[in-house]
Homo-oligomer: A and B are copies of this chain.
Amino acid sequence: MPLLQEEYLPNIAYDSVIFGFSKEKLKILILEYHNMKTFALPGGFVKVNEPLDEAVKRGLSERTGLDEIYMEQFHTFGSMERFSPQIMRRILEEQGHFVEDHWMFGRFITVGYYALINYENVVPTPDELSDSIEWYDFDKLPPLMMDHSEIVHKALEHLRSNLDQKLLSFNLLPERFTMKELQQVYEAILGETQNRANFQRRMLSLGILERHDKLYSGGSHKAPFLYSFKKKK
């Protein structure tokens, strides 16, 4: 029997909104309980002697294999709608655990975190309770269980505000990238097009980009500079 009561704090969970970026689209990792046709955000529980932040990082690492990823907490959800023992019971039963009572049937207050990761170098793996984990286009999400849609939208709201300050800490792009790629990230997140010339000027004026002389070759056009984020002091 996994997830022993003694190991975890009851009534507290976290859910993570993991953003990725591919083909000019913003994506999110969603996991599925196949036989139930139920979709949910990857979440988890906090061990008795574990800081909250670490629990969240552990969860991300287990599912994506990524370490050293910056995650930002954005809101804690504590309404009574987040209480559905039936669903939790079915999830456990689908995994072959038939129990009368379980701490996971209780009510949970959940802390929301989000991360931005580089889509390319990730092979997501489902956790012990779910059957699959997939990238979904942000605007084509399946219906999510409980209040998980609300959580996703609140995450995006927080991400959009002060995006400039956040980019540096995040890991959405490869080590070196072109200005165009950076602009596509902005446009995907903000959901609106940016003026190319002004975008470039604004980014450079932030003083967080380093320009590299090496050029990129790919299309039948002028080769763009490559940039990287300056290391934080």
Binding site for B on A (CB under 8 A): 9-12, 46, 48-53, 55, 73, 75-80, 107, 109, 111
Contacts and interface: CB of A to CB of B under 8 A. Distances in A.
B9 A107 contact: yes
Q: Which 10 A-B pairs have the closest CB atoms?
A: A52-B78, A76-B76, A9-B11, A51-B79, A76-B111, A51-B80, A12-B109, A52-B109, A51-B78, A11-B12
A138 to B, nearest CB: 25
Contact of A10 (B10, B52, B53, B76): B10
Nearest to A111: B76
Contacts of A51: 78-80
B73 A75 contact: yes
Q: In this complex, which of A55, A76, A80 has the most chain B Cβ atoms within 10 angstroms of its Cβ?
A: A76
Contact of A52 (B48, B50, B53, B79): B79
Contacts of A76: 52, 73, 76, 111
Nearest to A83: B49
Contacts of A111: 76, 78, 109
Given A11-B11, A50-B80, 8 more contacts: A9-B109, A10-B10, A11-B12, A12-B109, A49-B107, A51-B79, A52-B77, A53-B78
Contacts of A52: 76-79, 109
Contacts of A46: 78, 109
A28 to B, nearest CB: 22
Contacts of A10: 9-11
Nearest to A79: B51
